[in-house]
Structure 1
Amino acid sequence: MPFFAFHDAEHFYGEPEPVPGARVSFVPDKLFAARERRPVRQPLGDEGLMVNEIAADVRQWPSSLWRVADLEPMRPLYGHRWVPCRAFTVMEQVPAWLIAGPHGDAVEWVIARTRTLTGAQADALAALSDEGEEPLIRTLWSRWSRGHHTLSPVGCALTTLHEVVAEAARRVGPHLFGPDEEVDVEVLSDPAWLRAFGAAYAAALALGAPELLSPTENAVLARRWTTVFGSPDLPGR
Structure 2
Amino acid sequence: MSFFALYDAEHFYGDPEPVAGARVSFAPDKLFAARERRIGRRVDRQPVGDEGLVVNEIAIDVLVWPSSLWRVADLEPTRPLPGHRWVRCRAFTVMKQVPAWLVAGPHGDVVEWVITRTRTLTSAQVDALAALSDEGEKPLTRTLWARWSRDHHTGSPVGCALTTLNEVVTEAAHRVGPQLFGRDEEDEVEVLSDPAWLRAFGAAYAAALALGAPELLTLQENTLLARRWTTVFGPPDVPEP
Give the TM-score normalised by the residue count of structure 1: 0.95
Counterpart Cα distance in 2 of 1:138 and 1:126: 21
Contact 1:129–1:224 under 8 Å retained in 2: yes
Counterpart Cα distance in 1 of 2:30 and 2:238: 39
Alignment match, 1:128: 132
Task: Give the deviation of 1:123 after TM superposition.
Answer: 1.1
Matched residue count = 233
Once the two structures are superposed, the pairs formed by residues 91-106 of structure 1 within 5 Å of their partners are 91-106=95-110
Alignment match, 1:114: 118
Q: Point out where structure 2 has 5 or more consecutive residues left out of the alignment.
A: 40-47
Q: Point out where structure 1 has 5 or more consecutive residues left out of the alignment.
A: none
Q: Indicate the percent of aligned positions where both proteins have the same amino acid.
A: 82
SS at match of 1:38: helix
Which residue identity is paired with 1:152?
A: S
Alignment match, 2:59: 55
Classify 1:46/1:119 alpha carbon distance in 2 versus 1 (closer, same or farther; 3 Å): farther
Task: Give the deviation of 1:74 after TM superposition.
Answer: 0.5
TM superposition outliers: structure 1 runs of 4+ over 2 Å: 76-80, 233-237
Once the two structures are superposed, the pairs formed by residues 24-43 of structure 1 within 5 Å of their partners are 24-38=24-38
1:61-101 superposed Cα distances (whole Å, 9 cap, x missing partner): 00000000000001134723110000000000000011111
Alignment match, 1:230: 234
Query: Which of 166, 169, 172 pairs up with 2:173?
Result: 169
Alignment match, 1:160: 164
Counterpart Cα distance in 2 of 1:91 and 1:182: 47
1:105-160 superposed Cα distances (whole Å, 9 cap, x missing partner): 00000000000011111111111100000000000000001112451000000000
2:149 aligned with 1:142: no
Alignment match, 1:10: 10
Contact 1:57–1:150 under 8 Å retained in 2: no
Contact 2:65–2:100 under 8 Å retained in 1: yes
